[in-house]
Chain A
């Protein structure tokens, strides 16, 4: 990784070429477990987005003070702090959504994607770059969750964002957790196909 990444590159990397769910295949449990509706996906995606951005910036700010032997405990502490803050804010200002999502928000502490970004990026790079990397990764996760949620909600309950679109329930199967893997798998294939297609067009072959 060079230091000369532009904001656009950092962002597009998180959303497309290194999308946490479809490319890195990290944090699959929430992606599969919660993404039964678009709204659930948005909620968790937003929570992860903020935790990712805040944690990346914090670690990047204090990267020189963190003893290399206690890197991971420090990351975990940082993430746990921000998760608690987000948890408190959600509980206070969005009680309705929190009643549904509360238990999963606390689980963000253990999301692989956040720790991985801190270890791979934030602890080496400048604060500004870390911020945009966090934004990119958070958005990538958010987009992933929304896309999976959209497919599962549409095919499982025939609705989008709670509105009845199809008027009937095509396949209950898509609401069940196993279908989460199914959709994620298809999405991965789709994203890979886009990448291959894009590279061929540019004439860049691996």
Chain B
């Protein structure tokens, strides 16, 4: 009996000490980790747009951040967009507005938000600012983050961040679309699929299959359980002449997605997730654009 008490006491104490050490380590490293994630995200964005360290984006290319929030007040729901109304240049303190639409796509109100360009990236600061503007007694939920890329004031691409359920947990992706909603590229940011099976979704021969799919193709995109043709795989993985690659990619442009061997569910999750993201985004952006035009709200993009 005495032993048990002593063992329980010692084990509890050990666990508490371990928890303290781990907690301290977490607090110390968390900031650096967040910063690195941010840097990585930025790099992924530019990579999707075709820029790299060797070929940096020209100054005329500007990324405009748009954050979508769902605001619930009793039974009524609004879709609110936190959009930049200033010049949109990075580093410059921008003016932001919270534009709220009702579910029919009509403008409810537009309120300026006091937050500067640096702080808006942090989830907590941003949420706080939106809640302050939305008023009390409302349920404010962050929905997603979209980036509109412009070059000399003309839209050249959209970047969509999003998460959808995979085989095990969530799969986080970043999509790049051109103004006609054709897929430019996809990057898998996070996932916990099985190594060797579902984890293959991050391989070029899978994720590049989405490249070049037009919006009309994307809307009806399915997964086929067929072996990936050898020439297509070569084209997806690169390493062959560019002209050949373009020709083969063109040939398979309207084909469905070839499932990964042994990971049909993961393949289907990614396909459906991407399809849903693009469809919803196109729908929402059309509504938002219409409202902004009708109400003559000056925005930076």
Contacts and interface: CB of A to CB of B under 8 A. Distances in A.
- Do A and B truly interact? yes
Interface of A: 65-67, 69-70, 73-74, 77-78, 80-81, 84-85, 88-89, 91-93, 95, 103
Nearest to A90: B29
B240 to A, nearest CB: 19
B201 to A, nearest CB: 15
Q: Secondary structure at chain A's binding surface: helix, strand, loop or mixed? A: helix
Given A70-B7, A73-B11, A92 B29 contact: yes
Nearest to A65: B10
Interface residues of B, number: 20
Given A85-B25, A88-B26, A95-B36, A103 B18 contact: no
Given A88-B26, A93-B29, 8 more contacts: A74-B11, A77-B14, A77-B18, A81-B21, A89-B29, A91-B33, A92-B36, A95-B36
Contacts, number: 51
B226 interface: no
A74 B25 contact: no
A74 B36 CA distance: 34
Max chain B Cβ within 10 angstroms of own Cβ: one of A66, A69, A89, A92: A92
Interface of B: 3, 6-7, 10-11, 14-15, 18, 21-22, 25-26, 29-30, 32-33, 36-37, 40, 195
B60 to A, nearest CB: 30
In the A-B complex, the 9 residue pairs with the closest CB atoms = A92-B29, A92-B33, A81-B18, A92-B32, A85-B25, A95-B36, A88-B29, A88-B25, A84-B22
A66 B29 contact: no
B174 to A, nearest CB: 15
Given A92-B29, A92-B30, A81 B10 contact: no
Nearest to B32: A92
A90 to B, nearest CB: 9
Contacts of A73: 11
Nearest to B3: A69
A78 B18 contact: yes
